[in-house]
Chains A and B, each alone.
Chain A
């Protein structure tokens, strides 16, 4: 009764794998978007800001539906990916990662942006006078100083990705072993008669995972603060 079934373990593994991928793939664009929004002035900046934040205010199901339209095998992007590279996102775990990445993107951008705004620009000027060109400056000064924000953003996004439900089920459906992540498995267990034990086990897993994530992020944050001497 206590031991999780094969299918439940698969859901756990899938959740971790989907969350991990969504963070890895959304981190670089999140850094670029956060940097552009903090440091650049251009026409349409407000619009970009709004679009990035859209997933926060839309119903997740609506986001899943938009993804379906864009990335479905007949959608403009999905069709092109399928024809050119044979990449199918719909009903696959990569699609689940895409859906969670889109949903957690604004959280990541916000965390990175705050850390960028807190960086003393004077340090970048100092790097300039020492001969560091723009990209060198970014890699050697800006990025290391952004590290606390990057970590905070990544861990928040990872946790949010573990719990994403609406966008995933709408975009890639609920296929055990392929797209059935923890929350989806939990939902399915509750739909079946006599699924209470399974639901309880999945809920406990979610709690342990969430708590572990929070503790880990706190530990990381402290270490990084110590490294930066704050």
Chain B
């Protein structure tokens, strides 16, 4: 079952013209700056807004086709929606909010109330009145309510945007749990790259009402358009690795990436588990020879495939370059190197190099292998 979207809507001088196919199951991130049309897009998918032209289909079902004059009402689409502001009903308590969705579910239940309560830790909140909930609790209830309507697709519109940092950290693991335990496809709207990194399997990058680029997260992390959007300090390759085991001497987790190996601080991971690692370009050091006498735990051999300006716009030696390094097995990483260093090291496309990364600067996120929704419980990010 896949979601196909091709829609067009004019809103004043803004033109939304979006087309993408979302692979399911998994989390597709609609990522882009504020005002680029992300929320409008999912409102159209949900049926809360009607586009001027377009088609939307979910698996075999056509939800919208303006040419054939098909437009299924929002309440009959079977699409769950978690709003940024939760939108819990203030005249009902938590249990009644959940029951509201349960009673109106139009499909055979695939997730039970007990399971939802357990996954989201909602049991203690059941008798609570809505205005007595914290922001994070509200979003958990909103998630539970949306799931109990037994949706075929779950839309999440920046569900963490209204929360402070600590609350976000409190809710994120629940979202990871849902992703790993349910095979329900989700579209996650966000302008926070770290959320996308932790949750998404696929990114649709939106800019000014259009899809600027889309693809898997590893591939997209190298995309110049995405780099321009998230800023030089957040730029970094995301690579999928496989856990080899624990390094007996250091206690670090050994993860195979490309033709090399990284040692990462991460807890509770079994050998063979998939792990997603982000290597920020600013944390990667480039050496032209195998280094010795360094405290750095991780060195990956590779070949320079491209040297680009890093986009900070600084001229001459004040600026820096973004060096793309192929580390084998189809994986690439990025390193930010000052222009002076590029010259002195004689870095050029085709040069063999070593990429060095401190173990503590790595962030690993457990991640289910594609097509296997059942995965071990999520692991919180390692030392940052």
- Whether the pair B149, A126 counts as a contact (CB closer than 8 A) is no
- Whether the pair A125, B48 counts as a contact (CB closer than 8 A) is yes
Taken residue by residue from 31 to 57, chain B's Cβ proximity to chain A (1 for < 8 Å, 0 otherwise) reads as 000000000000000111000000000
Least CB distance from B319 to A in Å reads 46
Of the candidates A120, A132, A144, which one forms a contact with B75 in the assembled complex, judged by CB atoms under 8 Å apart? A132
Contacting residues of chain B (88-110) with chain A, CB-CB under 8 angstroms: 89-91, 100-101, 104-106
Taken residue by residue from 123 to 144, chain A's Cβ proximity to chain B (1 for < 8 Å, 0 otherwise) reads as 1011111111100110011001
CA distance A98 to B101 in the complex (A): 42
Q: Within 8 Å CB of A131, what residues of B?
A: 75-76, 78, 101, 104-106, 149
A86 contacts the other chain (CB 8 A): no
In the complex with contacts A140-B100, A145-B90, A122-B74 CB distance below 8 A: no
B146 contacts the other chain (CB 8 A): yes
B268 contacts the other chain (CB 8 A): no
A47 contacts the other chain (CB 8 A): no
Contacting residues of chain B (63-102) with chain A, CB-CB under 8 angstroms: 73-76, 78-81, 83, 85, 87, 89-91, 100-101
- Whether the pair B48, A128 counts as a contact (CB closer than 8 A) is yes
- Whether the pair A144, B91 counts as a contact (CB closer than 8 A) is yes
- Whether the pair B91, A227 counts as a contact (CB closer than 8 A) is yes
A229 contacts the other chain (CB 8 A): yes
Least CB distance from A221 to B in Å reads 15
- Whether the pair B104, A132 counts as a contact (CB closer than 8 A) is yes
In the complex with contacts A140-B100, A229-B129, A229-B131, A129-B90 CB distance below 8 A: no
Of the candidates A120, A130, A147, A228, which one forms a contact with B101 in the assembled complex, judged by CB atoms under 8 Å apart? A130
CA distance A227 to B89 in the complex (A): 12
In the complex with contacts A129-B79, A229-B90, A122-B85 CB distance below 8 A: yes
Residue of A nearest to B107 (CB): A131
Q: Within 8 Å CB of A123, what residues of B?
A: 87, 89-90
B145 contacts the other chain (CB 8 A): yes
- Whether the pair B91, A129 counts as a contact (CB closer than 8 A) is no
- Whether the pair A133, B129 counts as a contact (CB closer than 8 A) is no
- Whether the pair B90, A126 counts as a contact (CB closer than 8 A) is no
Q: Within 8 Å CB of A147, what residues of B?
A: 91
B130 contacts the other chain (CB 8 A): yes
Of the candidates B74, B89, B101, which one forms a contact with A141 in the assembled complex, judged by CB atoms under 8 Å apart? B89
Range class of the B interface residue count = 20 to 34
CA distance A228 to B93 in the complex (A): 10
Q: Within 8 Å CB of A140, what residues of B?
A: 100
CA distance A229 to B91 in the complex (A): 7
CA distance A144 to B91 in the complex (A): 7
- Whether the pair A129, B129 counts as a contact (CB closer than 8 A) is no
- Whether the pair A128, B131 counts as a contact (CB closer than 8 A) is no
Of the candidates A129, A136, A137, A227, which one forms a contact with B146 in the assembled complex, judged by CB atoms under 8 Å apart? A129
CA distance A130 to B46 in the complex (A): 11
CA distance A96 to B125 in the complex (A): 52
Least CB distance from B100 to A in Å reads 6
CA distance A125 to B89 in the complex (A): 11
Q: Within 8 Å CB of B91, what residues of A?
A: 144-145, 147, 227-228
- Whether the pair A130, B131 counts as a contact (CB closer than 8 A) is no
Contacting residues of chain A (195-228) with chain B, CB-CB under 8 angstroms: 227-228
In the complex with contacts A131-B75, A140-B100, A126-B81 CB distance below 8 A: yes
- Whether the pair A129, B100 counts as a contact (CB closer than 8 A) is no
Of the candidates B73, B85, B129, B149, which one forms a contact with A130 in the assembled complex, judged by CB atoms under 8 Å apart? B149
Least CB distance from A229 to B in Å reads 3
- Whether the pair B74, A129 counts as a contact (CB closer than 8 A) is yes
Q: Within 8 Å CB of B130, what residues of A?
A: 229
In the complex with contacts A140-B100, A229-B130, A126-B87 CB distance below 8 A: yes
Q: Within 8 Å CB of A120, what residues of B?
A: 87
Q: Can you identify 21 A-B contacts, CB atoms within 8 angstroms?
A: A120-B87, A122-B83, A123-B87, A125-B81, A125-B87, A126-B83, A127-B100, A128-B48, A129-B48, A129-B79, A129-B81, A129-B146, A131-B78, A131-B104, A133-B75, A136-B104, A141-B89, A145-B90, A228-B90, A228-B91, A229-B90
Given contacts A125-B48, A125-B74, 4 further A-B contacts (CB under 8 A): A129-B75, A130-B104, A131-B101, A137-B75
